[in-house]
Amino acid sequence: MKILGISCYYHDSAAVLVEDCRVVAGAEEERFSRRKHDSSFPRNAIRFCLDYTGTAAAALDLVVFYDKPLKKLERALVTARQYGPRAAPLIDWQVSDFTHRGSRLADDVIELLGCTVPVEYCEHHLSHAASVFYISPFEDAAIVTVDGVGEWATTSLFVGTGDGIEQIREIHYPHSLGLLYATMTAYLGFEVNEGEYKVMGLASYGEPAFDREVSQLLTIFDDGSFRNNLEFFSYMYDERSMFTPLLVELLGPPRDASEPVTQRHMNIAASLQGLCERALVNLVRAAHRETGRDRLCLAGGVAQNVVANSRLLAEAGFAEIFVHPASGDSGGAIGAALYAAHRRSRSARVAIADYDTCIGPHFSNAMIRAALDEADARYEQLEPAELLAYTAGLLTQNMIIGWFQGRMEFGPRALGCRSIIASPCDPQMKDILNARVKFREDFRPFAPAVLEEYSEEYFDHPGKSPYMLFCPKVRPGKAGTIPAVTHVDGTARIQTVAKATNPRFHALIDEFRKLSGVPVVVNTSFNIRGEPIVCTPRDALKCFYGTEIDFLVIGDFVVSKDF
C-alpha cells in the first residue's frame, strides 16, 4: 500500500511517501523552492517522492493531510466569538486562509496528480504522536506531543502499544507552551517560528533574574497540566502583537529586532527557559505516573528544545526518551501517512532500531560531475579512502568544508549529508564560522558530531543521540579539547554518529580522530543565514562560492577555489 503524507499551509510544508508502513521518500518543500519555512502546497516535494520511487500517481492508494482544516477554522471562529470585534482582523485572515488554501487541499492534490486519490485528514497532534511512535525503537511507550497549536490541542498525552495509538487527554488552546515561547520570542525581538532556538541559545548566557516575573505567565498544576495567564497574551485576537501592555509593564520594553541583545534580554530568556523546563518536567512526570510506561516518545515543535529534552531525560522518570528528528510540522506528514498505513496494515509493526532521516534526494557521481562542469568548477575526483584521508587532513588545517553526501536529511538538522564541517579544537572556529560562512548571531553555538563509540567519554549523555536532540554537559577536562562546540554553559547539542547508519561520515570523523586524537567535528547545516539547507549540487555550489567555505567535498569530488 502506497500512502502520501502531506503537511502544508502553515509553515514547513512537506511530503513523504510511505510504502507498507515504511517511509521511503520525503522532503520539505523549502529545499526545492528555496524559501525557508515554505508553507505552500508541496508540489515539488510530492513530485520528488513519486519520481524517486518510480511511483505513478494512479498507484497511490491514499493521500493523508496532517491536520483537520475545518476543525482549525472552528477554533478560530469560537475564539473570535469570545473576543468580539477586536478579533476581526485575525478572523478575517484565518477565514481567508481557509477559503483560499485549507479547503482546497483535495483540489490541489487532484490538480497536481492528474487523477483522483482518496484524501483523509489526521488530527494534528495524532500526526505528531504517530510520527514519533511508529519510527521509534519502542514496542510500548507513553507519547507526549507539545507545540503552539494544532486544531484545538496544544499538548496531548497518548499511549502507543504495538500498532495502536490511544489518546488519553489533551490541553486546549489558548493554553500553550509553544505559544508562550513564541510570544516571548517575539518580545525578545526574534521571528516567531524561526527564532525560538535563538532564545534557547541566548538563555545560556543569562541568569534567571526575572524568574518571579516570568513565572506569572503560566500556572503549573500538580496533575501535569498548565494554564497561560491570558491577561499577558493577545495572540488570541491580535494579528500584530502576541502580548499585551501588561507584559511590558511586567518585564519592561520589548526588544526591537534592530536593537543589540543585552544582559537583560539574556536574563529574560534564561527565566523563560527555566519556566518552560519546569512545566515540561511536570508534564512528563505526570505522563510517567499515569501511563506506567518506562519509555517516552516526544514530538511537536516544543520537542526541538534540546536543553529541555536533556532535563527531561535526567529528571522525568523515563528510562529512555525518543524525540522525533523532525518534531515540527514537517514531521506531521510522516505521522499522518504512518498512522493511516498502520490502521490498514495486516502485519504486526516491527519497532525500528535506528530510524534513518536521510529520505531525500540523492545525486550520483555522474550527476554531480555534470553540475560541476556546468558551473565551470575546479575539482578532482578521488578514490573513497583517499577522499576521506584528504578531507580529514584539511580539517586538521582548520579548513572549513562543505560536506555533501548521499540522500538529503528530512528535518531541521544536517546530520552529515548536507553539512558544513570543521575542526572543534580551535577556540576561534565558532567566530570564524559565524563571520565567514554562516553570518549569524555570535551567541549561537555550534554542534559536535561525535563517533558513537567515544560519545560518553566526551559528553554526559547515556546512549545515542543521532539526531542532535539532546544537550548534555561536556565532560570535565574535555571542554578545552573541543572549545568550538562547547557552549558558554558547558553543554553541547550532540550528534552521535554510528558506523552502521552513516558509514562515510563515521569514517571521515574516524580519519580526523587518527590525525588529531579527537573523535569529534563541528557539524552545522549547509546553508547560510535565512536560506534553507542545500538540496542539489547546484545549491551547494552556490553556497560554496557565496561564502568563505574553503573546500566542497561532494560525492567523490573535492572542489577548491584554489586549483
Point out the residues that are catalytic. Answer: 11
Instruction: Decide if residue 440 touches another protein (CB under 8 A).
Output: no
Helix (H) or strand (E) holding 154: strand 153-161
CB of 73 to another protein, least distance (A): 8
The only residue of 235, 403, 505, 544 in contact with another protein, by rule CB under 8 A: 235
Q: Which of residues 104-123 bind another protein (CB under 8 A)?
A: 120-123
Residues ≥6 apart with Cβ < 8 Å to 230:
174, 236
Residue 549 CA to residue 422 CA, distance in Å, equals 10
Q: Which of residues 334-393 bind another protein (CB under 8 A)?
A: 339-340, 343
Between residues 20 and 92, which has the closer beta carbon with respect to another protein? 92
Between residues 32 and 65, which has the closer beta carbon with respect to another protein? 65
The only residue of 80, 297, 429, 558 in contact with another protein, by rule CB under 8 A: 80
Tell whether omega for the bond before 174 is within 30 degrees of 0, i.e. cis.
Answer: yes
CB of 65 to another protein, least distance (A): 8
Residues ≥6 apart with Cβ < 8 Å to 358:
406, 407, 408, 409, 410, 415, 417, 502
CB of 232 to another protein, least distance (A): 14
CB of 111 to another protein, least distance (A): 16
**Stretch of 233-241, 414-422, 480-488, 535-543 lying at the interface with another protein (CB under 8 A):** 233-241
Between residues 157 and 471, which has the closer beta carbon with respect to another protein? 157
Instruction: Decide if residue 100 touches another protein (CB under 8 A).
Output: yes
CB of 318 to another protein, least distance (A): 20
Between residues 147 and 550, which has the closer beta carbon with respect to another protein? 147
Cross-strand pairs, 420: 402, 524
Smallest CA-to-CA distance from 328 within 62, 132, 513 is with 132
* 3-state class (DSSP) for residue 82: helix
The only residue of 34, 101, 499, 542 in contact with another protein, by rule CB under 8 A: 101
Residue 440 CA to residue 528 CA, distance in Å, equals 8
Q: Which of residues 241-260 bind another protein (CB under 8 A)?
A: 242
CB of 473 to another protein, least distance (A): 32
**Stretch of 46-54, 94-102, 131-139, 270-278 lying at the interface with another protein (CB under 8 A):** 94-102
CB of 510 to another protein, least distance (A): 42
Burial of 529 (0-12, 13-18, 19+ CB in 10 A): exposed
The only residue of 97, 108, 277, 511 in contact with another protein, by rule CB under 8 A: 97
Instruction: Decide if residue 550 touches another protein (CB under 8 A).
Output: no
Site string for another protein, 395-434 (x = CB under 8 A): ----------------------------------------
Between residues 96 and 262, which has the closer beta carbon with respect to another protein? 96
Site string for another protein, 269-308 (x = CB under 8 A): ----------------------------------------
Q: Which amino acid is at 394?
A: L
Instruction: Decide if residue 96 touches another protein (CB under 8 A).
Output: yes
Site string for another protein, 159-198 (x = CB under 8 A): -------xxxxxxx--x--xx--xx--x----xxx-----
- Taking residue 135's Cβ as centre, other Cβ atoms within 10 Å add up to 25
CB of 396 to another protein, least distance (A): 43
The only residue of 40, 216, 481, 536 in contact with another protein, by rule CB under 8 A: 40
Smallest CA-to-CA distance from 375 within 555, 533, 539 is with 539
- Taking residue 221's Cβ as centre, other Cβ atoms within 10 Å add up to 12
Residue 296 CA to residue 125 CA, distance in Å, equals 16
The only residue of 240, 253, 346, 353 in contact with another protein, by rule CB under 8 A: 240
Residue 558 CA to residue 549 CA, distance in Å, equals 12
- Taking residue 295's Cβ as centre, other Cβ atoms within 10 Å add up to 20
What is the maximal distance between C-alpha atoms in the chain?
Answer: 68
Between residues 157 and 422, which has the closer beta carbon with respect to another protein? 157
Residues ≥6 apart with Cβ < 8 Å to 186:
192, 241, 242, 243, 254
Cβ pair 169, 157 in contact under 8 A: yes
Place of cell 536529511: 409
- Taking residue 287's Cβ as centre, other Cβ atoms within 10 Å add up to 23
Burial of 104 (0-12, 13-18, 19+ CB in 10 A): middle
Q: Which of residues 201-230 bind another protein (CB under 8 A)?
A: 221-227
The only residue of 4, 17, 25, 90 in contact with another protein, by rule CB under 8 A: 90
Q: What's 354's DSSP letter?
A: S
Dihedral sign, CA of 522, 513, 401, 424? Answer: positive
CB of 186 to another protein, least distance (A): 7
The only residue of 51, 92, 107, 373 in contact with another protein, by rule CB under 8 A: 92
Instruction: Decide if residue 446 touches another protein (CB under 8 A).
Output: no
The only residue of 15, 18, 49, 91 in contact with another protein, by rule CB under 8 A: 91
Burial of 262 (0-12, 13-18, 19+ CB in 10 A): exposed
Q: Which of residues 53-72 bind another protein (CB under 8 A)?
A: 64-65, 68-71
CB of 188 to another protein, least distance (A): 14
Residue 167 CA to residue 44 CA, distance in Å, equals 33
Beta-strand (E) ranges in 300-383?
A: 320-323, 379-381
Terminal CA-CA length for the chain: 50
Cα distances from 304 to residues 198, 298, 301, 483, 497, in angstroms, run: 12, 10, 6, 24, 19
The only residue of 1, 24, 77, 351 in contact with another protein, by rule CB under 8 A: 77
Size of the site for another protein (CB under 8 A): 72
Place of cell 529545499: 31
